[in-house]
Structure 1
Amino acid sequence: MTTEALINDTRKAELLSTEVEHIDIKNFDARPIVEAMKKMSFTSRDLGRATDIYNQMLADPDCSIVLVVAGSTSAGGCMDLYADLVKHNMVDAIVATGATIVDMDFFEALGHKHYQALEIPDDDTLRSLYIDRIYDTYIDEVALQNVDHTVALIANELEPRPYSSRAFIREMGKWLTKNGKKENSLVKLAYENDVPIFCPAFTDSSAGFGLVKHQVDAMKAGRSYLTMDSIADFRELTDIKIKAGTTGLLMIGGGVPKNFVQDTVVCAEILGHEDVEVHKYAVQITVADVRDGACSSSTLQEAASWGKVSTALEQMVYAEATSVLPLLASDAYHRGHWKTRAKRAFGKMFD
């Protein structure tokens, strides 16, 4: 019997009945509430200062902005927010987890949806229905497997050689321009606007399954196959840092993407660019606690000791990102500094 035949379709349809609606930062003006929060204390004032710093990045004609995303905020309702940052020239490069780019954005670009969990039954029950859970959000596993196979399909059509994650994700964006089912896809918009996307742990995602299938099928058929080149990722992002000069980081979560983008300063120095600037501006929104010594939660002040980030214009915001990021992004959108920003189009560096 097929997977679908084993599933209780009535129960599955009941659980996957309420779609996550992604917030639209253009439809509300957060400036008044952010201004009010600046006059408060605790996280409110931190968010106010972080928003000021992000607006300074946008207003600085010399500053190139890197969006850094870890965690599941895209699945949780911020997917269109990130797309708008690209569409309106509010970020110039992206470093993210594979899940953010593939399992969430590319997933929806293929026409699939994320769903609110109105109830959370036993997770074994969810498994029997082929429903994957991210906290209080559901994904149809059968639909997610469509992502695996689509990635394999794209890989099969490419020249068998090493690719950086940026180069492969660009091919995914190109594929979506002809085959995608969602206009507001981050992967598609990044391709169209020459905004490079890097996933330093790219195969730690649905793409990994597709690429393994691509390689195994090629091996069985005696064909050559493509590989992912993580060193090229580091080199290419460092090349962007060297060319950009002044940079600002808008970081959601931490982990590998955060450390990866910060390390470009050190890498540039190792390559002989002793005059490379540390990241001038930095904002991080996270719930990670510094007390356990985890890399994900190392503060921006700590990064300064490594020669990665300036302490003059940095702000940690300890909050769950879906609750504060829409305020920051809406405030910046409505202040409009993006309207006069020069477009970097860093993606063209690698053509």
Structure 2
Amino acid sequence: MTTKINDTRKAELLSTKVEHIDITSFDARPIVDAMAKMSFTSRDLARATNIYNQMLEDPDCTIFLVIAGSTSAGGCMDLYAELLRSNMIDGVVATGATIVDMDFFEGLGHKHYQALEVPDDDTLRSLLIDRIYDTYIDEEQLQDCDHTILEIANSLEPKPYSSRAFIREMGKYLSEHGKKDNSLVKLAYEHDVPIFCPAFVDSSAGFGLVKHQVDRVKEGKPYMVLDAIADFRELTDIKVKAGTTGLLMIGGGVPKNFVQDTVVCAEILGHDDVAVHKYAVQITVADVRDGACSSSTLQEAASWGKVNTGIEQMVFAEAGSVMPLLASDAYHRGAWKNRVKRKWGAIFD
């Protein structure tokens, strides 16, 4: 027997929406300049911001935004969208959760909510509320996201797709049916900025895509599939064609290793002249002592032939607390106004 949800209690818990920060509404340059004269994480952030500005000022540099973790749900979603809209990034490598459960989810008109109180998680489960630390998601709305992914998959020709190609279809869907202009997925489609999710099915997309395949098998029909090898090949192709590259990395994990490995992959494909990533910034709270990729320093990555040791900076901080400063500083310094749009997504058409 299904227990009826207490709609009044659910409404109380989902009463305060997360408001995403607008980096155009304040000028962080004075505080970043002041932090450069301090020590500890403040100075690290100022150095990282300077490196990002160098990326924007370098006319030859292709910039990848690399995202792991839940900063999009926590209030940085419009920040990332603004970086894309203002031509401050040329490609995105992210987790499926960032792209699907957070950005695409809000693109459909749904919201994330501040947890003003955190009751027993079993209580949240009974109300169909999912929790990300102190942020809530309505599970019923998330299921709408799953079903929309299913709808998109059912509309496609049954063949292999890279995550980039499928996410482009998601952006096209939002461009035609979405409820939010400021969506990273939608803007990426409109500006030919490729988005890669190397572990795409580890998200709400996974549920919709599994159902797509199961339904098609029952009907005796062919189904679409995701081609993870194509992800690696396409991203490496961009790296080879781009030459000079810079990485702005929030968190670590699979996206971080995936984008760094393009250098090694290019070498294996015979491109002996491929350059390591010239610029690199990583913002993380991961402990370096466990040896995991998420916490490996950029200096360590240099030993693998992935990044340049000369222009890199680790910032050990919770990204939601420092990315608004970095992004606002770079936005207001305005180097993006002179950048050429690269439109790497168009090379696969």
Same fold (TM over 0.5): yes
Q: Determine the structure 2 residue equivalent to 1:278.
A: 276
Amino acid at match of 2:50: D
Instruction: Tell me the distance in 2 between the aligned counterparts of 1:253 and 1:80.
Output: 18
Structure 1 partner of 2:342: 344
CA distance in 1, matches of 2:204, 2:317: 28
Q: Secondary structure at the match of 1:311?
A: coil
Letter paired with 2:256: K
Once the two structures are TM-superposed, the CA of residue 125 in structure 1 deviates from its matched residue by 0.3
Instruction: Give the whole-Å Cα distance in 2 for the aligned partners of 1:249 and 1:194.
Output: 19
The one-letter amino acid of 1:141's match is E
TM-score, normalised on structure 1? 0.99
Residue 324 of structure 2 corresponds to: 326
How many residues align structurally? 349
Superposition pairs of residues 144-293 of structure 1, within 5 angstroms? 144-293=142-291
Residue 294 of structure 2: which of 296, 306, 320 is its match?
296
Aligned counterparts of 2:282 and 2:89: Cα–Cα separation in 1: 15
Correspondences of 1:117-128 after superposition (within 5 Å): 117-128=115-126
What are the equivalent positions in structure 2 for 1:96-135 lying under 5 Å apart?
96-135=94-133
TM-score norm. by structure 2 comes to 0.99
Q: Deviations over 1:187-228 (max 9, x none)?
A: 000000000000000000000000001001111111110000
Q: CA deviation at 1:6?
A: 1.8
Instruction: Give the Cα–Cα distance (whole angstroms) in 2 for the partners of residues 243 and 338 of structure 1.
Output: 21
Identity %: 82
1:164-201 C-alpha deviation (Å, 9 max, x unpaired): 00000000001111110000000000000000000000
1:52 to 50, 57, 60: 50
CA distance in 2, matches of 1:161, 1:297: 37
Q: Which amino acid aligns with 1:173?
A: G
Give the alignment partner of residue 70 of structure 1, picking from 68, 71, 87: 68
Question: What is the CA deviation profile of residues 82-134 of structure 1, one whole-angstrom value per residue up to 9, with x for unaligned ones?
Answer: 00000000000000000000000000000000000000000000000000000
Kindly indicate whether residue 58 of structure 2 is the aligned counterpart of residue 83 of structure 1: no
Residues 123-177 of structure 1 deviation map (CA, whole Å, 9 limit, x = unaligned): 0000000000000000000000001000000000000000000000000001111
Could you say what secondary structure the match of 2:24 adopts? coil
Runs of 4+ in 1 over 3 A off after TM superposition: none
Give the letter for the 1:330 counterpart. Answer: S
Asked if 1:15 corresponds to 2:13, the answer is yes
Whole-angstrom CA distance in 2 between matches of 1:185 and 1:323? 21
State the distance in 2 between where 1:292 and 1:171 align: 38
What secondary structure sits across from 1:214 in the alignment?
helix
Q: Distance in 2 between matches of 1:325 and 1:6?
A: 41
| Aligned mates of 1:279, 1:43 — CA distance in 2 | 23
CA RMSD of aligned residues (A): 0.7
Aligned residue for 1:288, secondary structure, equals coil
Which string of whole-angstrom CA distances, capped at 9 and with x for unpartnered residues, describes residues 215-262 of structure 1?
011111111100000000000000000000000000000000000000
Counterpart Cα distance in 2 of 1:300 and 1:294? 13
1:292 is displaced (CA, Å) by 1.1
Q: Distance in 1 between matches of 2:271 and 2:227?
A: 23
Aligned partner of 1:312: which letter? G
How much does 1:293 deviate?
1.0
